[in-house]
Structure 1
Amino acid sequence: MKAGADMRIAGKTLCVFVMLMITKLIRTAGNNEVLVTVGNSSVLTCSPKTNITMVTWKINPKAGGSCTLGYRADLNKTDRTNCSDNMNWKFRPDRDPALEIRQVGRAHEGIYTCEVVATEGNFHKTHHLTVQVPPRLTLYCAGHGSPVCEAVAGKPPAQISWVPQNNSTSREEGHVDGTVTVVSMFTASSTNMTYTTCIVSHPAGNQSKSIACGPSNNNGFIVLISIILCFLILITMAVVYYLRFQSDRLCHKTKSPETASPSSPQDDTMEVEPYTTYVQKENVIYNSVSDLTVGQNLPQGLLPAT
């Protein structure tokens, strides 16, 4: 019985010793949360050790396939699998196995794990990379004269505040790429609006814009619409008048023969003139015969043959 108890105690002691050795050989530096603004560069550190035998970066992005960067000291060789060109060693991997990401994009978001094999043991360090996207600020006057501020496509969602402080209503609109648009409407307390300022707070940087909204803006819009309508009416009237004028000219040029003007008196004279000439010739012949009869003292019944 005593021997069995001693064996159990020895076994527990051995287990504790083994666990301590494992803890000593495999050290975890912990998980680090890394925030990077899109477009910037980021350097992810690893556990720098002397007498490094092998280093491996394992990258698992949220979107797309995984990739690896590796280094072997015995071959003095580096290799990469499925990693983009903007991922590379910051320094020499045998001295400092840090990883550099140039021009971080949304696709780089994910988990980055560095594993180091050295004479001292095995070490690994994990980074959770989160990419921040600064929103695009837009500020305008709504149809009823209230200012509206939008923080478009930000990650994480932005916070909107107003100066002067007043009642406002906000809503969020999520997008497929993980960004969020925040819309806030300022509630005016009076019709005489002064300048209002929209302030957008975001981890990637703060922004602000000012605007003045009120009834005057709506009146100006109505006046502009009225001027445009009057201009269109004038153009329409001018086109109608021009088409009507061209139509009247065409009708005058294509009059029918029945409506033509009557013939002139000169034409009537030309038509009557042949008959008048004939009558005059007959009178001359008759007068000649009469003169001959009288000169010869012949009875009128006995006329010479003609």
Structure 2
Amino acid sequence: MKPGADMKIAGKTLCVFVLLTITKVMRTVGNKRVPTMVGDSPVLTCTTKSNVTMVTWKISPKVGGPCTLGYRADQNKTDRTNCSDSMNWKYRPDQDPALEIRQVGIAHEGKYTCEVAEREGNFHEMYYLTVLVPPRLTLYCDDRGNPVCEAAAGKPAARVSWLLGSNFTPKEEGHDNGTVTVLSTLTAYSTNVTNTTCIVSHPAGNHSKSIACHPSKNHSFTQLVFIIPCFLGIIISVTVMYYFKLHSDRLCHKTKPPETAPAHSPQDDTLEVEPYTTYVQKENVIYNSVSDLTVGHDFPQQLSPAT
């Protein structure tokens, strides 16, 4: 074989040996999903042997920063960093490094990793903690007489269904803490049915309740109380509008008094005839004056003024 080929085979062998060594030294034991009920105190185990040198729990919750719990066998000493009092060793870490979470809540949800250093190598064991919150089941009749089923503040969201009923549409409302409220109203509800049953399915447990609803008389009365004033208001509005419209038309089309011709007074006739009368009077005055002069003086006939 050529020297180059020998070098390639030796290189591959070395890589395989290194990988096997790393696999032996660093082992990750599973990635387990651990569901737990809110308020419980779960315990997360960590596999070890007798010759443990160091154990460390690394916690990365969804809410808040990471924290660590550590133990060193050579110093027989434990330490904690940023971990709340609800997280602690279940037993003595030199004997059993299990982690206990007291009164678990939604804030504890997250990733938990146990790292163990032994003479044979290092081991990792990982958990993902999920917190279940059972919903509060409430069943009642609305003002229309329809059954309403409410699965409040569950995590994850509950599944709501009806026994002997199919015409319903669930509505979901999310909350800041991660819980969800599911509201379902059975609209096509027969009054002949004595009871109707709501079924709530959830990982924390299934529940059911039954109720009998009837059409509410108060609802019909409320409708009448609302409709009658509206109807009267419409009638009054139409009457007022008609009244103002009728009177506005009368004001706009009111007949004006006929224009009468100016009265013809005798004084106007006098004013029209007066210039002629004045002229005649003036002529008569002149004539009379001449006559008086003729009578008073004896003029020759040829000098007598003409008449």
Quick check: TM above 0.5? Answer: yes
State the aligned residue count.
Answer: 223
Pairwise CA distance, 1:19: 0.5
Deviation at 1:85, TM superposition (A): 1.0
CA contact (8 A) 1:133 1:155 kept: yes
What residue in structure 1 maps to residue 162 of structure 2? 162
Task: Describe the SS at the equivalent of 2:137.
Answer: strand
Residues 130-157 of structure 1 deviation map (CA, whole Å, 9 limit, x = unaligned) = 1111111111111211101011111111
Conservation of the 8 A alpha-carbon contact between 1:54 and 1:117: yes
1:201 shift after superposition: 1.1
Equivalent position of 2:91 in the other structure = 91
Residue 142 (structure 1) aligns with: 142
Structure 1 residue aligned with 2:67 = 67
CA shift digits 1:267-288 (9 cap, x unpaired): xxxxxxxxxxxxxxxxxxxxxx
Q: Is residue 2:239 matched to residue 1:219?
A: no
Please give the alpha-carbon distance, in whole angstroms, between the structure 2 residues aligned to 1:20 and 1:12: 12
Identity level (%): 70
**Paired residue secondary structure (1:16):** helix
For 1:189 and 1:221, the matched residues in 2 are separated by: 16
Matched residue of 2:18: which SS? Answer: helix
Is the 2:59–2:66 contact (alpha carbons within 8 Å) kept by the matching residues of 1? yes
Partner of 1:260: none
The 1:114–1:124 alpha-carbon spacing in structure 2 relative to 1, beyond 3 Å, is same
Q: Shift in Å at residue 128 of structure 1? A: 0.6
| Structure 1 Cα separation of the partners of residues 143 and 219 of structure 2 | 10
1:108-143 deviation line (CA, Å, top 9, x unaligned): 001000000011110011111111111111111112
Does structure 1 conserve the Cα–Cα contact (< 8 Å) formed by 2:61 and 2:110? yes
**Which residue does 1:3 correspond to in 2?**
3
Q: Partners of 1:117 and 1:145 in 2: how far apart?
A: 66
Question: Which 4+ runs in 1 deviate beyond 4 A?
Answer: 220-224
Letter in 2 for 1:149: C
Find the residue that maps to 1:169 and give its secondary structure.
coil
For 1:209, the equivalent position in structure 2 comes to 209
Instruction: Give the conservation status (yes or no) of the 8 Å contact 2:138–2:149.
Output: yes
1:151 aligns with 151
Q: Distance in 1 between matches of 2:191 and 2:45?
A: 57
In structure 1, how many angstroms separate the alpha carbons of the residues matched to 2:194 and 2:221?
22
Q: Please tell me the residue identity of whatever aligns with 2:152.
A: V
Distance apart, 1:178 and its partner CA:
1.4
Separation in structure 2 between the aligned mates of residue 4 and residue 14 of structure 1, nearest angstrom: 15
**Unaligned stretches of 5+ in structure 2?**
223-307
Aligned equivalents of 2:15, 2:75: Cα separation in 1: 37
Contact 1:111 1:128 survives alignment (8 Å): yes
TM-score (norm 2): 0.69
Q: Secondary structure of 1:168's partner?
A: coil
Asked if the contact 1:61–1:109 (Cα under 8 Å) also holds between the matched residues in 2, the reply is yes
Larger gyration radius, structure 1 or structure 2: 2
Q: Distance in 2 between matches of 1:98 and 1:29?
A: 15
CA distance in 2, matches of 1:72, 1:189: 67
Q: Does structure 1 retain, via aligned residues, the 8 Å contact 2:70–2:79?
A: yes
Partner AA of 1:22 in structure 2: I
2:128 matched residue in structure 1: 128
Gaps of 5+ in 1: 225-306
1:1-306 paired onto structure 2 within 5 Å: 2-215=2-215, 218-219=216-217
Question: TM-score, with normalisation over the residues of structure 1?
Answer: 0.69
Determine if contact 1:28/1:124 at 8 Å carries over to the other structure.
Answer: yes
For residues 133 and 28 of structure 1, the distance between their equivalents in structure 2, rounded to whole angstroms, comes to 30
Residue in 2 that maps onto 1:264: none
Partner of 2:279 in structure 1?
none
Residue 155 of structure 2 aligns to which amino acid in structure 1?
A: K
Aligned counterparts of 2:146 and 2:140: Cα–Cα separation in 1 = 8
Deviations 1:157-181 (A, max 9, x none): 1011222343222121122221111
